[in-house]
């Protein structure tokens, strides 16, 4: 069952063209057994197309797809034995919940008792016991979502593909289902490829995240790496909020470099600098990595700033501040009490290690 490579899915140089439009372009990645991998990217970047090629609903124009080592590129969907959960659930409207779940088992000619048990079990796992006789239209969105999941799980697939399964649910339910889904995936140790454009979902559920943009993969990494070390402007901007500064490396010292940004701003930047003095770099800074202080203290980077705007988000406050050179900066803070007022001058303290550098063309400079 498990091949020697330990890979559940191998996508190798896969392309999909629609006429002159290239929806997916030379995409390669692997999913290991038991792994939860997300495909993350903005709308229209080719996530669904990639997933549908793996399921066999669309044929790749180029490249190869392997499932458990077997080349399935030209195999029809019914021969691929993968579970699929659709964004719109795609429950068959003329079948009851139980019939929806049982359909695949009936096709496999399992005996009646087995099917009844399996349906019962799948519905129990997804918290739907008692809904057997309902029709899809008699269910809420969240319940329909569970039926779609139960339908896939009943066949005990080695591989589960999901296309934004939670995107039609309200926020509270989405967060709850996200956890349930993750727990279930871990309990069944089910290899999962999950499409989403919701970064929170991708970061919180995945073992690894595949970030796509314009039909291509821009990054494959663990959630922590993706967030803490985006390595490209696109990733930094798409996953979370990021402040950017364009500057020139003026001096390199012991693990700390000096970057001059414009006329007035000098940043002391730590962390794996390999850029030569004089090279143009882009400095990235997460808003929550900035500490906001009422008075000046000692520190590597201590910048005066004027508060221009304050947004209250509940758990956090977001300040928009202006540096003396005119640069605008987002700062996110947790301490709601004793917060600064609009128009006041505050001090920003930034640890050198909290900056990330990329070169101006967007590639990592470290």
Ligand X SMILES: Nc1ncnc2c1ncn2[C@@H]1O[C@H](COP(=O)(O)OP(=O)(O)OP(=O)(O)O)[C@@H](O)[C@H]1O
Q: Give the binding site for ligand X (CB under 6 A).
A: 18, 21, 23, 41, 43-49, 197
Residue owning tokens 């007022």: 341
Q: With respect to ligand X, which residue has the nearer C-beta, 43 or 341?
A: 43
Partner that binds at residue 55, options another protein, Mg ion, ligand X, none, CB closer than 5 to 8 Å by kind: another protein
Burial code of 329-363, b = ≥16 C-beta within 10 A, e = fewer?
A: bbbbbeeeeebbeeeeebbbbbebebbbbbeeeee
Partner that binds at residue 82, options ligand X, another protein, Mg ion, none, CB closer than 5 to 8 Å by kind: another protein
* Whole-angstrom distance, CA of residue 351 vs CA of residue 270: 8
Residue 165 within binding range of another protein, rule CB under 8 A:
no
* Binding to Mg ion, residues 37-66 (CB under 5 A): 48
Q: With respect to ligand X, which residue has the nearer C-beta, 88 or 345?
A: 88
The CA distances from residue 149 to 9, 97, 144, 191, 333, in Å, are 20, 11, 9, 14, 39
Partner that binds at residue 175, options another protein, ligand X, Mg ion, none, CB closer than 5 to 8 Å by kind: none
Q: With respect to Mg ion, which residue has the nearer C-beta, 41 or 247?
A: 41
Contacts of 255 (CB under 8 A, 6+ apart): 270, 271, 273
Residue 299: CB atoms within 10 A of its CB come to 16
Partner that binds at residue 230, options ligand X, Mg ion, another protein, none, CB closer than 5 to 8 Å by kind: none
Can you tell me which of 27, 45, 55, 281 binds another protein, judged by CB under 8 A?
A: 55
Can you tell me which of 76, 130, 325, 326 binds another protein, judged by CB under 8 A?
A: 76
Per-position DSSP letters for 251-304, written without gaps between them: EE-SSEEEEEETTTEEEEEES---PPTT-EEEEEE-GGG-EEESS----SEEEE
Q: With respect to another protein, which residue has the nearer C-beta, 70 or 108?
A: 108
* Sole window of 7-15, 16-24, 84-92, 198-206 interacting with another protein (rule: CB under 8 A): 84-92
The CA distances from residue 134 to 96, 97, 107, 138, in Å, are 5, 6, 21, 6
Residue 37 within binding range of another protein, rule CB under 8 A:
no
Token pair for residue 84? 């699929």
Residue 93 within binding range of another protein, rule CB under 8 A:
yes
What is the separation, in whole angstroms, between the first and last Cα of the chain?
A: 41
The CA distances from residue 277 to 244, 290, 357, in Å, are 19, 25, 13
Can you tell me which of 2, 18, 70, 92 binds another protein, judged by CB under 8 A?
A: 92
Burial code of 242-259, b = ≥16 C-beta within 10 A, e = fewer?
A: bbebebbbeeeeeeebbb
* Whole-angstrom distance, CA of residue 80 vs CA of residue 83: 9
The candidate with the shortest Cα–Cα distance to 218, out of 209, 228, 206, 227, is: 209
* Binding to another protein, residues 112-141 (CB under 8 A): 135, 137
Partner that binds at residue 56, options Mg ion, ligand X, another protein, none, CB closer than 5 to 8 Å by kind: another protein
Partner that binds at residue 21, options another protein, Mg ion, ligand X, none, CB closer than 5 to 8 Å by kind: ligand X
Can you tell me which of 59, 107, 124, 328 binds another protein, judged by CB under 8 A?
A: 107
| Total residues at interface with another protein (CB under 8 A) | 26
Token pair for residue 277? 């003095």
Q: With respect to another protein, which residue has the nearer C-beta, 101 or 358?
A: 101
Residue 224 within binding range of another protein, rule CB under 8 A:
no
Q: With respect to another protein, which residue has the nearer C-beta, 112 or 361?
A: 112
Q: What are phi and psi of 329, to 5 degrees?
A: -145, 135
CB of 358 to another protein, least distance (A): 40
Q: Which residue is nearest to Mg ion (CB)?
A: 48
What does the binding site for Mg ion look like in residue numbers (CB under 5 A)?
48
What does the binding site for another protein look like in residue numbers (CB under 8 A)?
55-57, 76-78, 81-84, 86, 88, 90-94, 103-104, 107-108, 135, 137, 151-152, 155
């Amino acid at each position: 069952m498990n091949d020697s490579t330990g890979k559940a899915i191998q996508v190798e140089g896969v392309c999909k063209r629609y006429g002159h439009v290239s929806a997916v372009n030379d995409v390669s990645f692997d999913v290991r057994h038991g792994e939860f991998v997300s495909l993350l990217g903005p709308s229209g970047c080719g996530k669904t197309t990639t997933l549908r090629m793996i399921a066999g609903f669309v044929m790749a124009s180029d490249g190869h797809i392997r499932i458990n080592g077997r080349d399935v590129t030209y195999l029809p969907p019914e021969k691929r034995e993968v579970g699929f959960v659709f964004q719109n659930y795609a429950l068959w409207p003329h079948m009851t919940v139980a019939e929806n779940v049982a359909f695949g088992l009936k096709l496999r000619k399992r005996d009646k008792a087995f099917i009844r048990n399996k349906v019962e079990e799948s519905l129990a796992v997804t918290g739907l016991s008692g809904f057997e006789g309902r029709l899809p239209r008699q269910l809420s969105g969240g319940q329909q979502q569970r039926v779609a999941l139960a339908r896939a799980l009943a066949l005990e697939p080695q591989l589960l593909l999901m296309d934004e399964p939670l995107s039609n649910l309200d926020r509270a339910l989405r967060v709850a289902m996200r956890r349930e889904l993750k727990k279930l995936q871990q309990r069944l140790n089910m290899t999962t490829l999950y499409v989403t454009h919701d970064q929170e979902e991708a970061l919180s559920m995945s073992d690894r995240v595949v970030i796509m943009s314009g039909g291509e993969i821009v990054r494959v990494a663990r959630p922590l790496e993706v967030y803490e070390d985006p390595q490209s402007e696109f990733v930094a901007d798409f996953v979370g909020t990021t402040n950017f500064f364009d500057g020139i490396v003026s001096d390199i010292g012991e693990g700390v470099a000096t970057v001059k940004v414009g006329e007035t701003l000098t940043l002391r930047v730590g962390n794996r600098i390999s850029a030569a003095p004089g090279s143009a770099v882009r400095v990235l800074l997460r808003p929550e990595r900035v500490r906001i202080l009422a008075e000046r203290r000692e520190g590597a980077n201590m910048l005066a700033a004027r508060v221009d705007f304050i947004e209250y988000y509940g758990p956090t406050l977001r300040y928009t501040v202006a540096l003396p050179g005119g640069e605008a900066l987002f700062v996110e803070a947790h301490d709601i009490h004793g917060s600064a007022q609009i128009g006041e001058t505050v001090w920003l303290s930034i640890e050198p290690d909290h900056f990330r550098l990329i070169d101006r063309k967007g590639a990592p400079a470290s």
